[in-house]
Structure 1
Amino acid sequence: MTILKLGNQEVRIDQGELVGYQVEGHEFIHQKGSPGWRNSDTEMFPTIGPTNEAGFKVNTPRGMAIQDQHGLLREMQYETHIASETKAVFIKKYLANTLVGNSKYPNKSSAENLSWPYDFTFKKIFFLNDQGLEIQFKINGEEGMPFMLGYHPAFKLTSESVEIIAGEKVVTIPEVMAVGSRALQIPSQSTITLRDVRELLIRTEGFNHFMLWTEVENMVCIEPITFYPYAVKQINLNDGFDFLERVKPKVFKVSFIPI
């Protein structure tokens, strides 16, 4: 377990997964074992969304790649690169066409192994500062590599009247639950406020949208995404790709700022 501390803030990270963020003793992050979801956070990369209707295949400039829901990155293990009192860096490296076992096989998927036809390095960097917690994602890879990125954190809820504020739009937990597994899209937003017993501002850089998901009242996932996957048919998921440049890494940021 990696622990970051600064003032009245404490962050707990388990092999790259954010499992706790407390401010003055208040826990913002959904706890494993609680109803709702088995994780606390994860990344969706290099694809977002389900692929079962497309035969677990996604079209790339180098042919079809075998991908299950939300990509193969979540099936890989992070290596700890740096850990200090207020900063931690975790890395995943992938060699093109390496087979990665699919944890959903065989009970929830017919794709036993996943693969991607490009090399990439994915860094997840935690910074704890006076304002809050910043998480950066740095992607290095081959020039022209297509990708989508989504960050999938889950937040613990304790109030019976939780609100999610996105611009002039106010969303309640029953409204999120009503959408079901597709997740509720919040388009063209870079900030969202989660209003619970404590308020948390979620501010992003590099992402285009959010989507909201939960099936229970005690947690909600507020997910920054580069593309909303349900905007297209699964066979056309490649319409949502961004592309890497050769010279510099692609950098995305998510900040959690207690209010």
Structure 2
Amino acid sequence: MQITVSNSILSAVIDTKGAELKQLLKGNQNYIWEIDTQYWDKTSPVLFPIVGRLKEDKYTINNKEYSLLRHGFARNFNFEMVNHSENQVVFRLSENEETLKVYPFQFELEMKYILIENTLTIQYSVKNNSETSMPFSIGAHPAFALDTNLEAYALVFDQEDSLIRHKLKNDYFSGDTSEILLQDHQLHLSDELFEKDAIVLKSFQSKEMTLLKNQVPYLSFQLEGFPHLGIWKKANAPFLCIEPWQGFADHCDDSGEIFQKEGIIVLPPNEVFTTSFSITIL
């Protein structure tokens, strides 16, 4: 089922499956990529309880092994709609028989979409209802529609002069890094940047980024609640993913013990973790 929220400037359409953003419209223009399965079958999945891929898709807790596929399971389940008004909606996912097989924790994941003027804010709330501490990561994966060549676009970081890219090899971090020099804080986009998978920034200083189209501001992102970032484009696909993360994929030498995983959040019993990011249409 698809739910719409709107105000006088924007409207957003969210599917209850995965609480996934399907459209973000200003007038007749949809800024979110519309699915073409030859490239990808998602538009903006939530990544929970992991971000990226685990080594051999497995992890251990107290020497017991579990299997969990890339980016976790939240995107595959129907969320309950718990609140809906004209300009906001809240969805909730809790543990079930299937999740407990691969992730032995009781949780509540809430996603709240709020439209205020020309900005969509997406808030995440994770509650640990288990009797033990709960390890998790969470992230966003929105795909923005491109209506011209990628070279027409650039990302402006409000603080950085250069970026440290952590390289992936067969979906895992190799330990290798490279520096990407920016021009006037701008990362000029090209397909060549994505020939060896996503650009992954484990750390960066900017709290706001702007996507330019032909050097004209197009979208901006407020990333106060997310310390890591992925930028990804599939070859020849007319979209660009800009992905705020709390957590990331395994290193090729990781032990598999999830409580030792780099970037993992460990939430005590009955505690709540919250974070958010915003998209502004310019």
TM range (shorter): 0.7 to 0.9
1:157 is aligned with what amino acid? Answer: L
Aligned-pair identity (%): 21
Mapped contact 2:13–2:22 kept (Cα < 8 A): yes
1:221 is aligned with what amino acid? Answer: C
Distance change (3 Å), C-alpha of 1:61 and 1:249: farther
Unaligned runs of 5+ in 2: 161-184
Deviation at 1:158, TM superposition (A): 1.3
Deviation at 1:89, TM superposition (A): 0.7
Deviation at 1:4, TM superposition (A): 1.2
What are the residue-to-residue correspondences of 1:186-201 with 2, within 5 Å?
186=201, 187-188=203-204, 189-196=206-213, 199-201=218-220
The residue that corresponds to 1:163 in the other structure is: 154
Mapped contact 1:136–1:254 kept (Cα < 8 A): yes
Mapped contact 2:9–2:118 kept (Cα < 8 A): no
* Corresponding residue SS for 1:158: coil
CA offsets 1:176-203 (integer angstroms, 9 cap, x no match)? 43232xx111332433222237611111
Mapped contact 1:148–1:227 kept (Cα < 8 A): yes
User: Are 1:148 and 2:168 matched, yes or no?
Assistant: no
CA RMSD of aligned residues (A): 2.4
CA offsets 1:217-236 (integer angstroms, 9 cap, x no match)? 41011111112325554544
The residue that corresponds to 2:71 in the other structure is: 70
User: Are 1:179 and 2:230 matched, yes or no?
Assistant: no
The residue that corresponds to 1:213 in the other structure is: 232
The residue that corresponds to 1:118 in the other structure is: 105
What are the residue-to-residue correspondences of 1:1-259 with 2, within 5 Å?
1-15=2-16, 16-33=19-36, 36-51=39-54, 53-54=55-56, 56-60=57-61, 63-95=64-96, 98-100=97-99, 115-141=102-128, 142=130, 144-160=133-149, 161-166=152-157, 167=160, 168-180=185-197, 183-186=198-201, 187-188=203-204, 189-196=206-213, 199-215=218-234, 216-229=236-249, 231=251, 233=253, 235-236=255-256, 238-259=261-282
Mapped contact 2:12–2:24 kept (Cα < 8 A): yes
Mapped contact 1:176–1:214 kept (Cα < 8 A): no
Distance change (3 Å), C-alpha of 1:61 and 1:73: farther
Distance 1:195 1:231 in 2: 33
1:185 is aligned with what amino acid? Answer: V
State the aligned residue count. Answer: 241
1:245 is aligned with what amino acid? Answer: P
Mapped contact 1:50–1:234 kept (Cα < 8 A): no
Distance 1:40 1:157 in 2: 13
The residue that corresponds to 1:105 in the other structure is: none
Mapped contact 1:43–1:151 kept (Cα < 8 A): yes
Distance 1:235 1:134 in 2: 36
Deviation at 1:87, TM superposition (A): 0.6
The residue that corresponds to 1:107 in the other structure is: none
Mapped contact 2:50–2:247 kept (Cα < 8 A): no
The residue that corresponds to 2:168 in the other structure is: none
1:174 is aligned with what amino acid? Answer: D
Distance 2:253 2:75 in 1: 23
